[in-house]
């Protein structure tokens, strides 16, 4: 006897699931300029590779005879697919079904996606749109009771931070649990003017006296500047492309090493402009991103977190095809001095490099921690010391290039001095416990006060000290291992990447990364 009738029923129910929240809800979604969850998944994964899991899960309606009338699918779509031929897990919120709220959720689907990514050791991409399975007061009326808050499957969410790459794209208004899921990731993206993030939306905010729009309460202009979310893009397609690119630098899980990409750029390439990019006048700025682009494989630098912690540039790149994590100072902001938010940025980025076995390249121009009342109020020394701890806890191969300044406690964070100091310095290097500018007044307070001509004495002291601040004096004492021609930076970094490649050991790091 054939099962043809049952297979026909299976296909009928699958068609119901593909309708999502129904024609009207889908039209409402697309009229806002948003893709549906199924369109998003189709654009994320390689064509034809998506294998959905739990397609039939939903809320069914039957007539008095037990005949199925319709099924409203769960507001989570999930399954496996490939990105550039590598298997990933993808989980997407369907905003057309009750805006992603918990009363339209099948509780196990989100947790199952997290569990599958963890146990199969494959990257996870979350496409978040709505509360992400979070609360709705309608549940109280429906269930006739309330409950103590819990986040089903959150142990998997936490475990994944130390096990597999997790990417989260905010693709609409994201609140509550959805917001927590967005930021509990290794890389997060918002779409400008399309997505917003908040603990609770404007109706709840009005109850605390704030009458604001969704954009005013949690637009990307806010959360990509305060560090909650890594990057801001203009379109959903750009967000999806950023997710695909991010994953290309990372291994499937901590149990493997980041794959080498094609080595298409000459490792011996030397850029002439590097010889004069740093001004002799230490008060003048220059564009560090030009240096980054010049020394890594052409077109390989993917900056992460551009708009927060701006004294510090972070991103992923390749050297002779090998993926690396890049830290670099930006002298356009506090001269490259570390602020509290730059310190937070450093901690999170170094922890990610440690988690996924990425060697670190650090291009240094750091005059120290940012100074002043505002930075003391921000507890900069507390957060900066945590950043220093992150650098010292890292065990991945590390290479520093001191481009210009390295002063004080923050300057000492350019490397872990107890490990092999694989580092270089440019002739523009300028370092010490304290910059001469400002340091003289601190060290010679009484002498200057007693001098007949304080200005002349100050000038004389500056001249004496400038004679001994030369980086060549430091090299003579072997306190810097190598002074180099700036044009040799790329060949030396490519050599480092090839030396570092066999030194990495797959497996979990000593501690799980936290958001």
List Cβ neighbours of 155 (8 Å cut-off, separation of 6 or more): none
What are the counts of helices (DSSP H) followed by strands (DSSP E) for the chain? 21, 17
CB-based contact 103:136 (threshold 8 Å): yes
CB-CB neighbours of 231 under 10 Å: 22
Closest to 383 (Cα-Cα) out of 342, 335, 328: 342
> Which contacts (CB < 8 Å, 24+ apart) does range 375-381 have?
375/339, 375/340, 378/339, 378/340, 379/340, 380/338, 380/339, 380/340, 380/343, 381/409
CB-based contact 508:178 (threshold 8 Å): no
Q: Could you give the CA distance from residue 93 to residue 78 in angstroms, rounded to a whole number?
A: 9
DSSP secondary structure letter of residue 54: -
Closest to 410 (Cα-Cα) out of 439, 435, 390, 381: 381
Q: Could you give the CA distance from residue 220 to residue 223 in angstroms, rounded to a whole number?
A: 5
Is-above-0.95 flag for pTM? no
What are the beta bridge partners of residue 60? 71
Q: Could you give the CA distance from residue 206 to residue 44 in angstroms, rounded to a whole number?
A: 37
Alpha-carbon separation of residue 72 from 102, 177, 414 (angstroms): 14, 22, 55
CB-based contact 63:69 (threshold 8 Å): yes
| Chain centre distance of CA 235 | 18
Q: Could you give the CA distance from residue 314 to residue 385 in angstroms, rounded to a whole number?
A: 19
| Chain centre distance of CA 119 | 23
Written as one string, the DSSP assignment of 237-280 is HHHHHHHHHHHHTS-SSTTSPPPP----S-TT---GGGGSSS-S
Task: Tell me what pLDDT residue 446 has.
Answer: 77
Q: Both tokens of residue 455?
A: 């200005």
How would you write the pLDDT of the chain (515 residues) with one tens digit per residue? Answer: 899 999 999 999 999 999 999 999 999 999 999 999 999 999 999 999 999 999 999 999 999 998 888 889 999 999 999 999 999 999 999 999 976 555 556 778 999 999 999 999 999 999 999 875 555 556 566 667 766 666 778 999 999 999 999 999 999 999 999 999 999 999 999 999 999 999 989 999 998 989 999 999 999 999 999 999 999 999 999 999 999 999 999 999 999 999 999 999 999 999 999 999 999 998 899 999 999 999 999 999 999 999 999 999 999 999 999 999 999 999 999 999 999 999 999 999 999 999 999 999 999 999 999 999 999 999 999 999 999 999 999 999 999 999 999 999 999 999 999 999 999 999 999 998 767 666 666 677 777 787 877 778 777 777 777 677 789 999 999 989 999 999 999 999 999 999 999 999 999 998 889 89
Domains of the chain: 4-248 (3.90.226.10), 272-433+470-502 (3.90.226.10)
Task: Tell me what pLDDT residue 152 has.
Answer: 79
Helices (H), 396-488: 408-412, 436-443, 445-450, 454-468, 471-476
List Cβ neighbours of 259 (8 Å cut-off, separation of 6 or more): 251, 323
Task: Tell me what pLDDT residue 132 has.
Answer: 57
Alpha-carbon separation of residue 193 from 230, 369, 400 (angstroms): 16, 34, 39
Largest CA distance in the chain: 112
CB-CB neighbours of 23 under 10 Å: 10
Task: Tell me what pLDDT residue 19 has.
Answer: 93
């Amino acid at each position: 006897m054939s099962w043809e009738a049952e297979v026909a029923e299976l296909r009928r129910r699958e068609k119901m699931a593909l309708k999502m929240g129904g024609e009207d809800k889908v039209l409402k979604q697309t009229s806002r300029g948003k893709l549906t969850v199924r369109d998003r998944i189709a654009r994320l994964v390689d064509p034809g590779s998506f294998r959905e899991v739990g397609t039939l899960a939903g809320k069914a309606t039957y007539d008095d005879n037990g005949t199925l009338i319709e099924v409203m699918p769960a507001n989570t779509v999930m399954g496996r697919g490939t990105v550039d031929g590598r298997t990933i897990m993808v989980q997407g919120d369907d905003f057309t079904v009750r805006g992603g709220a918990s009363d339209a959720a099948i509780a196990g689907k989100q947790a199952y996606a997290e569990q599958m990514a963890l146990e199969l050791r494959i990257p996870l991409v979350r496409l978040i749109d709505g509360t992400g399975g979070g609360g709705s007061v309608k549940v109280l009326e429906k269930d006739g009771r309330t409950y103590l808050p819990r986040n089903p499957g959150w142990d998997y969410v936490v475990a994944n931070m130390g096990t597999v790459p997790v990417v989260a794209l905010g693709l609409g208004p994201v609140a509550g649990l959805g917001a927590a899921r967005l930021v509990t990731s290794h890389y997060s993206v918002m779409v400008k003017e399309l997505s917003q993030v908040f603990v609770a939306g404007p109706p709840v905010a009005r109850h605390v006296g704030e009458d604001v729009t969704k954009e005013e309460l949690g637009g990307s202009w806010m959360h990509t500047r305060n560090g909650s979310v890594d990057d801001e893009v203009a379109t959903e397609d750009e967000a999806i492309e950023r997710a695909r690119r991010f994953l290309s630098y990372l291994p499937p899980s901590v149990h493997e090493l980041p794959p080498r990409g094609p080595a298409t750029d000459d490792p011996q390439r030397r850029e002439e402009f590097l010889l004069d990019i740093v001004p002799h006048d230490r008060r003048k700025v220059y564009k560090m991103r030009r240096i980054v682009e010049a020394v890594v494989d052409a077109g390989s630098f993917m900056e992460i977190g551009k708009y927060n912690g701006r004294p510090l540039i972070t991103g992923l790149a390749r050297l002779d095809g090998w993926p690396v994590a890049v830290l670099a100072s930006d002298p356009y902001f506090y001269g490259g001095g570390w602020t509290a938010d730059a310190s937070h940025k450093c901690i999170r980025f170094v922890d990610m490099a440690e988690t996924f076995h990425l060697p670190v390249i650090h291009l240094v121009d750091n005059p120290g921690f940012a100074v002043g009342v505002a930075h003391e109020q921000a507890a900069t020394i507390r957060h900066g010391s945590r950043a220093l701890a992150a650098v010292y806890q890292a065990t991945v191969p590390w290479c520093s290039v001191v481009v210009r300044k390295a002063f004080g406690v923050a300057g000492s964070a350019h490397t872990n001095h107890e490990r092999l100091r694989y580092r270089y310095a440019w002739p523009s290097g300028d370092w010490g416990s304290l910059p001469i500018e400002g340091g003289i007044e601190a060290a010679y307070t009484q002498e200057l006060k007693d001098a007949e001509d304080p200005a002349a004495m100050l000038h004389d002291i500056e001249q004496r000290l400038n004679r001994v601040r030369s980086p060549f004096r430091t090299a003579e004492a072997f306190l810097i291992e190598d002074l180099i021609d700036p044009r040799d930076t790329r060949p030396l970094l490519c050599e480092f990447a090839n030396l570092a490649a066999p030194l990495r050991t797959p497996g979990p790091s000593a501690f799980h990364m936290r958001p």
